[in-house]
């Protein structure tokens, strides 16, 4: 039995959520030109399971292979950067802000680089972390 793949990301909805967040935080600080729009995991079930942990306040860090970022043409996370997380149906559910990260090359082999990222949930208000 194979895992069900997630649906396509609803990028227009994700950008609408992003603009709501930026409008609500118009304090003069520069914002990213546009956030990364992505989901956790590599299957529908895992995407929802990990997102549920984020929304419950349990998950506040993640890791990914540098080679995956390169292959997907995505920039590496940076402190202060944002991303919109979608569920398995592609619906945006929250905006995350990277608050800490480190890169290591020694996790599984000498040539495998991994990015570790710690984040906070900043939008929408009902699931955002307290300041």
Establish if 55 belongs to a structural domain.
yes
Domain hosting 57: range is 11-23+35-123
CATH label of the domain that carries residue 84:
3.10.400.10
Residue 28 lies in a domain: no
SS3 for 27? coil
Q: Considering the domain boundaries, does residue 1 fall inside one?
A: no
Classify residue 75: in a domain, yes or no: yes
* SS3 readout for 79-105: CCCEEEEECCCCCEEEEEEEEEEEEEC
Report pLDDT digits (tens) over 22-35: 999 876 555 656 78
Tens of pLDDT, residue by residue over 31-53, are: 656 789 999 998 999 999 999 99
What domain count does the chain have?
1
Average pLDDT, the chain: 86
Q: Please check whether residue 103 lies inside any domain of the structure.
A: yes
Q: What is the pTM of this model?
A: 0.82
């Amino acid at each position: 039995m194979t895992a069900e793949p997630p649906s396509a990301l609803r990028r227009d909805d994700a950008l609408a959520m992003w603009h709501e967040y930026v409008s609500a935080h118009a304090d003069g600080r520069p914002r990213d030109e546009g956030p990364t729009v992505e989901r956790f995991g590599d299957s529908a079930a895992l995407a929802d399971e990990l997102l549920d942990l984020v929304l419950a306040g349990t998950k506040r860090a993640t890791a990914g292979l540098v080679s995956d970022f390169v292959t997907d043409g995505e920039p590496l996370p940076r402190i202060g950067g944002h991303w919109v997380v979608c569920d398995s149906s592609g619906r945006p559910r929250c905006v995350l802000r990277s608050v800490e990260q480190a890169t290591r090359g020694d996790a599984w082999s000498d040539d495998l680089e991994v990015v570790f990222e710690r984040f906070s949930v900043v939008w929408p208000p009902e699931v955002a972390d307290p300041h």
